[in-house]
Amino acid sequence: MASIRLSVPATAKRGDVIELKALIQHPMESGYRRGSRGEAIPRNIITRFECRYDGETVFAADFHPGIAADPFLTFHTRATRSGPVLFRWTDQHGESWQETAMLTVT
């Protein structure tokens, strides 16, 4: 299980733009490195990130090997309604990890 760290404000005023931060532990192996015996290390990267909130994908990203290990994202959304904010990462093999944070909108 990959370790995930999120930063989501606990409360926000309706209409406010809030900052969201998300980090997942992942090697993001580029496929361009070689091991100690010269063997090629196969590519192993997260290719997709999605953030769902209030019934819609509010932000998404396609990752390529140019994203550093332990991908870290800071982005924004407008607070509309109290509820879960879901963060989901999917790797090149289709395996995915997700985490939610509760946001209370006043």
Partner 1 sequence: MTSDLSFPERRTLIRLGAASMIVSAIPLTALADPADLTSAQRRLFGDREIKQGRVTLKLPAIAENGYSVPLSVDVDSPMTESDHVRQIAIFSPRNPIAEIVRFELGPRAGRASVSTRIRLGGTQTVQAVAELSDGSLWSGAAKTVVTLAACVVL
Q: Among residues 13, 56, 93, 94, which is the contact residue for partner 1, using CB under 8 A?
A: 56
Q: Which residues contact 10 (CB under 8 A, 6 or more apart)?
A: 102, 103, 104
Q: Among residues 11, 72, 84, 102, which is the contact residue for partner 1, using CB under 8 A?
A: 72
**Interface segment toward partner 1; rule CB under 8 A; list 3-11, 49-57, 83-91, 93-101:** 49-57
Q: Which residues contact 95 (CB under 8 A, 6 or more apart)?
A: none
Q: Among residues 24, 26, 77, 91, which is the contact residue for partner 1, using CB under 8 A?
A: 77
Name the residue among 103, 35, 30 with its Cα closest to residue 67.
30
Instruction: Work out how close the CB of 70 gets to partner 1 at its nearest, in angstroms, rounded to a whole number.
Output: 8
Name the residue among 50, 52, 47 with its Cα closest to residue 60.
50
Q: In the chain, how long is the greatest CA-to-CA distance?
A: 58
- Note whether 101 binds partner 1 by CB under 8 A: no
Q: Among residues 4, 9, 29, 65, which is the contact residue for partner 1, using CB under 8 A?
A: 65
Which amino acid is present at 58?
V
Interface ranges with partner 1 (CB under 8 A): 17-18, 30, 32-34, 53-54, 56-69, 71-78, 80
